[in-house]
Amino acid sequence: NHEQAEQSRIKLISFIEELGKEHPFDAARVYLCGFSQGAIMAYSVALTRPDLVRGIAAMSGRLLEEVKPLVKPSPALKQLSVFISHGTQDGTLPVHYAREADAYLRSIGITPTLKTYNEGHTINAVMLADLLVWLK
């Protein structure tokens, strides 16, 4: 539901902004990590407000087409770090979503790390370990 996704994107941006007012933080140290719908929201927030985060980990998610027109070139966007992980056997959100996101990000000057696994719509220990290595 595009309307609900947009409302959620705006709420998450507002939350991060308000959190920063109450507890000042360095956006260069903020990473969003999400699985499935959480990954969708991580893409949506980071690509439209890269000034609020340093990077995202999108696990078994997808990048909404409706978000792409909202993405504006900026130095912060070029600095965004992105980790994409996805199961090749995912029947809920097929792996082509990860490959499409990877291609789109590369087309706008972001070089993500893409990892695929012989898994379904899940997070296993290897996926989590790869995420932790990437975060370091």
Q: Which spans in the chain are helix H? A: 2-22, 37-48, 75-78, 96-107, 125-135
Res. 109: pLDDT tops 80: yes
Tell me the pTM. Answer: 0.92
pLDDT above 70 as % of the chain: 100
As a whole number, mean pLDDT of residues 74-98 equals: 96
Amino acid of residue 117: Y
Contact call for residues 11 and 41 (beta carbons, < 8 A): no
User: If we measure between CA atoms, which residue out of 22, 23, 66 comes closest to residue 44?
Assistant: 66
Q: How far apart are CA 28 and CA 8, in angstroms?
A: 23
The CA distance from 121 to 95, in Å, is 10
pLDDT at site 25:
76
**pLDDT at residue 125, rounded to an integer:** 96
19-73: pLDDT as tens digits: 888 887 777 788 999 999 999 999 999 999 999 999 999 999 999 999 999 999 9
Output the CA–CA distances (angstroms, integers) from residue 5 to 24, 32, 82, 83, in the order listed.
Answer: 27, 16, 20, 21
